[in-house]
Amino acid sequence: MSEALQSLLDLLDLERIEEDIYRGRSRSAVVPRVFGGQVAAQALVAAGRTVPADRHAHSLHAYFLRPGDPDAPIVYNVDRLRDGRSFTTRRVVAVQHGKPIFGLSASFQTYEEGLDHQAPMPDAPDPATLPTGEERLRSYPHLPAETVERFLEARAAVDLRYVDDPPFGDYGTPREPHSQVWFRTNGKLTDDPLLHVVLATYVSDMTLLDSVLLAHGRGGWAVGDVVGASLDHAMWFHRPFRADEWLLYDQQSPSASGGRGLGQARIYTQDGRLALSVIQEGVVRVPREH
């Protein structure tokens, strides 16, 4: 296991400070605020620790309410909304400086047999044939060295490989609002199902709005031609998967308007099983020139 992955696992191992109350800390991000995927992942950890082990996360719905302060701890308050025969529901509110910064509802279910079908996996190249994230980032001479290093530090725990150029790599000309990324953790994980779900949640916030930027030829936050932030985030966990094995993140944007952009995606295992669906809306604003 890489040092960066162990550091991320330590970050997600929340401190229990009281019944259904947990405390987490933050790490550096590409932008000077707490990374949204971190808050979502930590909130899911808090919820999962109040749920029986035989019930696995099948969905989450979340709102980002305020920017998080990376220099202050985050307190996660868990509300046990329901414990039914098959489903368990939890609500989590993340608090900093006495104010809520994030709210999450998550549902967990015991295993059941049932109807089974899925959308087919789209075509994508083998991840082994693609440049690593570091190789791709360092290939763009227009990116400041400081930006490259911040990206690499923020994503060091994950092997993330773009199929095509990301928005910040080749921008200026609008492209199809579609992006594909392969990802897996940089090291093996234990078999705990919650851990794999939590890490996929963490990664899911890294690239989902890329397709919004592609549609308008914008490079994004890395080059400063848009200002953005996550607003809300929803995930559905369809089938078991491992976050330490390759997952294809197939993303697209059906709409952008009113200073907001919508991204939707499906995540497949390398052998073609649809593991997750994801939808996110975010603020996407073009800075005014003075």
The 10s digit of each residue's pLDDT in 275-285 is 999 999 999 99
Task: Please say if 79 is a catalytic residue.
Answer: no
The stretch 88-109 carries a mean pLDDT of 98
Active-site annotation holds for 123:
no
126 is written with which tokens? 């083998």
- C-alpha to C-alpha distance for 253 and 282, rounded to whole angstroms: 11
Would you tell me how many other CB atoms lie within 10 Å of the CB of residue 156? 17
Fold of 3-111+127-283: Porin (2.40.160)
Give the pLDDT confidence score for residue 231 in this predicted structure.
Answer: 95
Distance from C-alpha of 105 to C-alpha of 87, rounded to nearest angstrom: 13
Please check the confidence at residue 290 and state whether its pLDDT lies above 50: no
Q: Whole-model pTM?
A: 0.94
Catalytically annotated residue among 230, 251, 252, 253: 230
- pLDDT higher at 265 or 144: 265
Confidence (pLDDT) at 171: 87
Place of tokens 């109040």: 50
Question: Is 280 one of the catalytic residues?
Answer: yes
Give the confidence band of 29 by pLDDT, cuts at 50, 70, 90. Answer: low
Given the residues 26, 96, 159, 205, the one annotated as active site: 205
Q: Is residue 202 predicted with pLDDT exceeding 50?
A: yes
In the set 26, 179, 180, 280, the catalytic residue is 280
